Structure 1
Amino acid sequence: MDEQAVRELVQGSSEVEWSYEMRRQCQEILKGLFLGPLQASKDLDALQALGITHIVCIRDAKEAFSVRPRFPEHFKYKVLDVEDNEDQNLIRRFPEAKLFIDDAIARGGRVLVHCNGGISLSPAFVVMYVMEHYKLSWEDALHFVQNRRYCISPNGGFLTQIKEYESIYKASDAVAAFPPQPRAASRRKREDEDEEDNRREEERKRPYTTDEDDAMMF
């Protein structure tokens, strides 16, 4: 995408008027992917009205008594126990969340990602998802999500990891674009070279004979 297209994508709709009460609701960040707080995950009627089919429940383990799957008979859940502090490694936990979201959307599902407040922890996961999905910089991905859920504010440690993830996904994309040569082909080439070297070595060891030497042998 060119710079203008990226700006328009990040900005999103200008028709949304944010109000304080909206922080208690979930918002659609990209098609089929919603972000919100615990409160949004407790409203069965609202979830069904939005067509939610899958829920990523991200919580600190000590919150497990309240931040938990509430409607397992209605939705498929992915629960991630992640400490809500700056030292928590989010990048290590992100791939399983991404796989769950990708699979749900590929099947035509709609996914809610939530933590307790929907301010820092779950938004960090969604920012990384948006970054890789649209191939954005970390800043553009952060603004993309903020422009759809204005109240997000990942803590400093999470923000550092969001920045780091940009280089990680770009490196992965670069490797995928230029895959290594198949090992089988390389092995066959080495075997052919070894066979040629052996043939030359045998010829070098073979004693030199002249036509006279050959005649004397008879």
Structure 2
Amino acid sequence: MDTASMGPEALRELIQGPSDVEWSYEMRRQCQEILPHLFLGPLQASKSIEILQSLGITHIVCIRDSKEAFSVRPRFPESFAYLVLDVQDSEEQNLISLFPGAKKFIDEAIANGGSVLVHCNGGISLSPSFVVMYVMQYYGLSWEDALHMVQNRRYCISPNGGFMTQIKEYESIYKAKNVIASNPPRLANTRRKRSEEDDEDNIQREGERTKRALMDDDDDDDDDDDAMQT
């Protein structure tokens, strides 16, 4: 979804989110809907099958530090489709390399009418980083606007410094991909035009070579006639 056609007021409302929600400390243990059919929360939000079903959740992205595998795990594999990402919850962890797989999982779930919960242990740093990158690309936002949009729906998020650096880097990455994806016909036409121009130049050069060869032959014939007359 591209926000380029949105006016400033509509874009501001999108980023600010609902104004009638009062944040409370208990909401840290719950999940929040960040955009239609995409929820973000902590491990606690993934433990109640009744709550998950009441929200219409069909798919769950479980992001965990490998040391947390015993507790942060798929609990209802018979009821939900899971994507488990084992990472290190540290500033050195590369999230950008893992994001395409998560994005594909979320995209396919939503496209098929499902709803997705993305969670880590606390829902504060790790899983919010993935959701910020997803929102950024989904709406075509800057990293600042995407971060504010997610924070305005789940107030307690706070990606660590390393994750923030990657969130900022991802803005230029997804924008470059969009440019490449939107311009193949233009690039192909440019290459075709250059090829046609090269062909025309080659034909012109070949014609000039042929013309010079014919002129040289005429000069040789003239020389022969002069020699015979002599």
Structure 2 residues without counterparts, runs of 5 or longer: 1-5, 226-230
CA distance in 1, matches of 2:23, 2:77: 31
CA distances 1:82-101 after superposition (whole Å, capped 9, x unpaired): 21111111111111111111
| TM value normalised by structure 2 | 0.83
> Does residue 113 of structure 2 align to residue 105 of structure 1?
no
Q: 1:205 to 1:128 in 2, by over 3 A?
A: same
> Does residue 34 of structure 2 align to residue 29 of structure 1?
yes
| TM value normalised by structure 1 | 0.87
Question: Could you say which residue in structure 1 is the equivalent of 2:93?
Answer: 88
Q: Which amino acid aligns with 1:185?
A: R
> Larger radius of gyration, structure 1 or 2?
2
Question: Could you say which residue in structure 2 is the equivalent of 1:201?
Answer: 209
Q: Which amino acid aligns with 2:218?
A: T
CA distances 1:91-143 after superposition (whole Å, capped 9, x unpaired): 11111111111111111110000111100000000011111111112111111
Q: Which amino acid aligns with 1:81?
A: D
Q: Which amino acid aligns with 1:18?
A: W
Deviation of the 1:177 alpha carbon: 3.2
CA distance in 2, matches of 1:193, 1:66: 70
Matches within 5 A, 1:72-87: 72-87=77-92
Matches within 5 A, 1:3-22: 3-22=8-27
Deviation of the 1:193 alpha carbon: 4.6
Deviation of the 1:187 alpha carbon: 8.2
Question: Could you say which residue in structure 2 is the equivalent of 1:2?
Answer: 7
CA distance in 2, matches of 1:196, 1:80: 61
Identity across matched positions, percent: 67
**2:27 match: secondary structure:** helix
4+ runs of 1 displaced by more than 3 Å? 183-188, 190-207
Structure 1 residues without counterparts, runs of 5 or longer: none
